Each structure stands twice: as structure tokens, then as C-alpha cells.
Amino acid sequence: MAVENGLPREHYLNATYGIRSWLLTTDHKRIAMLYLASVTFFFFIGGTFASMIRIHLLTPNGYLVSPETYNKLFTMHGVAMIFFFLIPSIPAVLGNFLIPLMIGAKDLAFPKINLLSWYIYVVGGCFVLYSFSTGGLDTGWTFYTPLSSVYSNSAVTPAVIGIFINGFSSILTGLNFIVTIHTMRAPGMTWFRLPLFVWAHYATSIIFILGTPVIAITLLLVGLERMFHLGFFNPALGGDPILFQHLFWFYSHPAVYIMILPAMGVISEIIPTFARKPIFGYSFIAGSSIAIAVIGFFVWAHHMFLTGESVYAALTFSLLSYLVAIPSAVKVFNWTSTLYKGSISFDTPMLYALGFIGLFLIGGLTGLFLACLGLDIHIHDTYFVVAHFHYIMVGGAVMGYVGGLHYWWPKITGRLYPEFLARIAAVTLFIGFNLTFFPQFILGYMGMPRRYSSYPPEFQALNVMSTAGASILALGYLLPMVYLIWSMRYGQVAGRNPWPATGLEWQTDSPPLTENFDVTPEVTWEAYDFANRPDLGLDVPGAPVHAHGDD
């Protein structure tokens, strides 16, 4: 069906026309595009707040806004980025687009629920935007009580309602993925032939369905407390504010893995493709995703070492937090082992993947500093924490997302992005990111607390470096934004499998048909098996004959 010198005649983008055909679509690929547009919108809102924060911190006494407004800036930055960009970004855009293609299905198991989840996201987003524009939000993205439920004068109620509503969008996406992965796999697509991207999303979905309802009910209680002056979390009325923190982090720590696991899935796809080698230790990478999801539920109170929780509880949570490092390290070791003696090419997605490994390593290791009970008491609530989670969230999750967008862009649009510009953007992002956030490790270690609108003059040099880095980082995000849109019309036609890669998604047209495949594919090969795939047109001398590097 693929036409040699052009796009396929019919595909999901041109199958039907008009605004209704988009707003009422049940095609997972189109819903992914709706999500792409909406998460990008929230990314720029969150990014604008971030830029204002960095400009403000150019001078010790604050350059731009009043301390009250500063509180709102970092709160709204966090809420927009975490709940409306990072959590849905990879699952709802790339996962939505790719999971049915990767397992050889025509769609997700529940296409209408998939569309519903996007509408829920939009409604939740509207509530949050209403909060931002009618007084803003100044509680911190963590909504600690009783500040959020009693004392804050900002628009907490609509924000809490918005995040409550948005939670159901995550739950429905997770539910859809789990059922789809269980019941919709093509003949021959066994569990251990699934791409690791799918395993990562399965693990993410487990967190979606087990964690999200808890944050939903918690924020509902905060909302009720604020509206009806109840006392669940208000010590003045006999309630317990620490209970709020437990319930909040029971979701919000696993939510960190919601954000990073899908990015790890992306990296596990990119690395074998550009090292042209089966991934090393397939089953360990798959299992480590599940292990991260499970252990991730038992570490939440490491956010609360300074709340006066019992020493034994703190020690236990410290130890359990160290355990998460094991499956995370398994992944990093296996990715690097995959690179060993690989035939590596430095295409743009690979640059992002390599950047991810380095930044995730720094972010992960500094996470161990914070899991360490004694050390955490010193660097708690300092810029060290800010730097740590931005290394995981921006250096990890966003790098994975942007890398994944580049990697699958030819599949999504049928056209290639301009490679040279894209490499420049990837390097710009990497440099800008490190210049922004590495100084924050030092600032934090020297004792600069987070969430303050001013700082002692001796911290200015490092803050100026950080702000300078942020401007480079912003350029690194704007550049792909421009050339990716440009490439949708003018990019070189990609063909089915431009890299080439081994997954099922590359076996169909680019862009794919609405039904994904002409005939339901039958899988007879193992995942990432380059050696036994003559259809890829590769000559891979010396490549291992076995499917998995560890077999």
C-alpha cells in the first residue's frame, strides 16, 4: 500500500475531515493528537511560570514580582507541569498512539472511554485555568493542609476540583491500557515479545489505577473541608494535617514513577534501534518496570522525615526508598550493556536517549542522598531537592518525551524532521538543562531553601547561571516546536520504517491507516531481534543470533 515517493493515499489523518471528525473521533491515533495539542498548551503555560520564576531570582531581593505572587508562580508552575503535562504526556500521547500499533490491534479496547478521558482532561484543565486566572493558587502543588483548606486566600477550590476531575482521565487511560494489553494482542504477540515500551505502560497503568483514586478522594476531602469548614485535616478542629500528607504522598510519590516509567519505556525502544542490537536483559528490564511500580507504593513517607513521624517508620521508609534504586539501576546497566559493541549511530532520538541515561543517573543518585535519613534532614526543602526532581522530571521524563516524539514523528506524520536542526536542538536542550539545574544542587547543599522569593547575596552568581541556563533551555524547547510543525508539511517523506526498527508499529504505513493494519499481523519473531529479520533489509555481521542479549 505504501507509495514509493509519497505518503500513502489514505491514512488516519485524511480519512475524514472537519472539526467534528476530530472532536468525536474514537481513533486512538487522533485522540493522541488531541492530547498532544492540549499537553503542549499546558507545557507552555507551566513553562511561562518557570521563566518568570527564573527571571525573578536574578537578584537577591527578587526582580519581578511580590513575594505573594512568587508563591503563586511556583505553585501554578508545579500544578500545570505535573498534573496537566508530565503525567499525561507520554502515556496519553505516545502510549495512546503506539500501544495498539505495537501489539497489532486495531484500537484500544474501549475507544469511547479513551475519548471520554480526553474530555475529562479538558474539563479538569478548564477548572484549573479558572483558578489560575481568578486569583491564582499559592499553596504549593502539594496542597498541604490547613494552608490549603483554611488559610489560603487564593482560588484553591476550583483548582482542587480540577485536579480531582483530571484524576479520572488518568484512571480511564490506565484502565484502557491494562485491558488492551491483556486482551488485544495480535496472534503470536506473547507477553515476552511485547516491546518494553508496552511493559513500561503496563506498570504505569497499575499506578494510575491504584494511586490516582487516593489523591482524588484526598483532594475531595480538602475541598469539602474548605467549602463546609469541616476538620478532617485541621488540627484546630481535632483533625490531623499529617494524615493529609500521608494520603497525598501515597499517590504523589508513585506519581513520580507515572512520569518516569513511560520515559524509560521510550529509551528502551530507542537504544536497540540505534545500537542495532537486541536489548540486553529484556526480561529484567520488563520486570524492573513492574518492580518500580510495586516498590514505589511503599516509600511515600520519605517526603515526611521532618514531620515528627516515628524514627522506626522513618528508618523503614528510608530503607524501602533505597530498594527502588535496584530496579532503576538494572535498567541503566542494561541500556549501557546494550550499547556495548553495538553499531551506534547518533541520530536525534539517540542523542536524547544518551542524554536521558546521564541525567537520570545524576537524578537517581541524588535521590539516594535524599532517601538517606540523616542527610535528608540537612538538605530537606532546599534547592537540592528541586534540582534532584528536575533531573528526573525534566532530564528524565521530558527528555524521554521529546526523544520519543522525534523517534515516532515519522510514524505519526509520515514525514521526517530536519535532522541537523534536531541534533542542534537536542544538544541545546542538554546544555541548557544542565546549566539551569546543576547550580541548584550546589545552592541547595549550601542551604538555599526552596519556595523563597529572595536569597542572601552570596547565592547570586549561581542563581544567575541557573537563569541563563533556563533561557537556553527555553530555546531548546522552542526550536523543536517550530521545526516539527514545519516538517508536518515540508518534511521528507519517511516511509514505513526509516530507522529501521523492529517493532510492529513500523510494519504498517506512515501515517497508519485508521484500522492500523491491512490485515491483523502475526508475530513470529522475538522483540528487538535484528539478526533474524531479513525484512528490515539490514546486514548485521556479528550480531547475536539469539533474540535477547541474556538468553
Partner 1 sequence: MHRSGELYGQFETMDQQRESASLGMWVFLVTEVLFFGGMFMTYTLNRSTYPDVFGEASRSINLTLGAVNTVVLIGSSLTMAMAVWAAQVGKTRLVTFFLIATLILGTVFLGIKGVEYHEKFVEHHVPGLDFNFELGASPATNAHAQLFFSLYFAMTGLHALHMIIGAGLLLWLIKESLRGRFTASYNTPVENVGLYWHFVDIVWIFLFPLLYLIDRH
For CA atoms 360, 366, 368, 371, the dihedral sign is: negative
Q: Does 184 bind partner 1 (CB under 8 A)?
A: yes
Which of 115, 194, 216, 362 binds partner 1 (CB under 8 A)? It is 216
CB of 106 to partner 1, least distance (A): 5
* C-alpha grid cell, residue 511: 501515517
Which of 10, 66, 229, 458 binds partner 1 (CB under 8 A)? It is 229
Q: Does 504 bind partner 1 (CB under 8 A)?
A: no
Q: For residue 314, how many C-alpha atoms fall within 13 Å in the half-sphere facing its CB?
A: 16
**CB 395, CB 80: distance < 8 Å:** no
Region binding partner 1 by CB under 8 A among candidate stretches 37-45, 175-183, 424-432, 543-551: 175-183
**CB 292, CB 203: distance < 8 Å:** yes
Region binding partner 1 by CB under 8 A among candidate stretches 45-53, 100-108, 124-132, 491-499: 100-108
Helix, strand, coil share (%) of the chain residues, nearest 5: 70, 0, 30
Q: Does 498 bind partner 1 (CB under 8 A)?
A: no
Overall residue count recorded for the chain in this entry: 551
CB of 348 to partner 1, least distance (A): 33
Q: Which is nearer to partner 1, 210 or 373 (CB)?
A: 210
Which of 41, 110, 322, 525 binds partner 1 (CB under 8 A)? It is 110
Q: Does 237 bind partner 1 (CB under 8 A)?
A: yes
CB of 252 to partner 1, least distance (A): 13
Q: Does 231 bind partner 1 (CB under 8 A)?
A: yes
Region binding partner 1 by CB under 8 A among candidate stretches 168-176, 431-439, 463-471, 532-540: 168-176
CB of 111 to partner 1, least distance (A): 6
Longest CA–CA span in the chain (Å) reads 73
Q: For residue 118, how many C-alpha atoms fall within 13 Å in the half-sphere facing its CB?
A: 27
Q: For residue 133, how many C-alpha atoms fall within 13 Å in the half-sphere facing its CB?
A: 7
Q: Which is nearer to partner 1, 214 or 494 (CB)?
A: 214
Q: Does 232 bind partner 1 (CB under 8 A)?
A: yes
Alpha-carbon span 133 to 216, nearest angstrom: 23
What single-letter DSSP state applies at residue 259?
H
Residue 376 contacts by C-beta under 8 Å, 6 or more apart in sequence? 302, 305, 318, 369, 370
Which of 177-209 are b and which e, b meaning 16 or more Cβ less than 10 Å from the residue's Cβ?
Answer: bbebbeebbbeebeeebbbbbbbbbbbbbbbbb
Q: Which is nearer to partner 1, 208 or 274 (CB)?
A: 208
Region of residue 59 (left: phi > 0; alpha: psi -120 to 50; beta: else): beta
Reduced to 3 states, what is the DSSP secondary structure of residue 449? strand
| DSSP calls for 321-369 | HHHHHHHHHHHHHHHHHHHTT------HHHHHHHHHHHHHHHHHHHHHH
Which of 5, 183, 310, 524 binds partner 1 (CB under 8 A)? It is 183
Q: Which residues pair with 513 in a beta bridge?
A: 516
Q: Does 32 bind partner 1 (CB under 8 A)?
A: no
Q: Does 212 bind partner 1 (CB under 8 A)?
A: yes
Q: Does 154 bind partner 1 (CB under 8 A)?
A: no
Q: Does 108 bind partner 1 (CB under 8 A)?
A: yes
How far does the chain reach from its first CA to its final CA, in angstroms?
A: 36
Q: What is the CA radius of gyration of the chain?
A: 23
Q: Does 211 bind partner 1 (CB under 8 A)?
A: yes
Q: Does 203 bind partner 1 (CB under 8 A)?
A: no
Q: Which is nearer to partner 1, 105 or 399 (CB)?
A: 105
Region binding partner 1 by CB under 8 A among candidate stretches 59-67, 234-242, 365-373, 434-442: 234-242
Count of residues that bind partner 1 according to CB under 8 A: 41
Q: Which is nearer to partner 1, 216 or 286 (CB)?
A: 216
Which of 60, 111, 447, 449 binds partner 1 (CB under 8 A)? It is 111
CB of 230 to partner 1, least distance (A): 4
Q: Does 275 bind partner 1 (CB under 8 A)?
A: no
Region binding partner 1 by CB under 8 A among candidate stretches 223-231, 275-283, 370-378, 497-505: 223-231
Q: Does 116 bind partner 1 (CB under 8 A)?
A: no
Alpha-carbon span 148 to 156, nearest angstrom: 7
Q: Does 309 bind partner 1 (CB under 8 A)?
A: no
Q: Which is nearer to partner 1, 168 or 389 (CB)?
A: 168
Q: Does 230 bind partner 1 (CB under 8 A)?
A: yes
Alpha-carbon span 204 to 177, nearest angstrom: 9
The residues of the shown chain that bind partner 1, judged by CB under 8 A, are 105-111, 171, 175-176, 178-180, 182-184, 209-214, 216-218, 221, 224, 228-232, 237-240, 243, 246-247, 515, 520
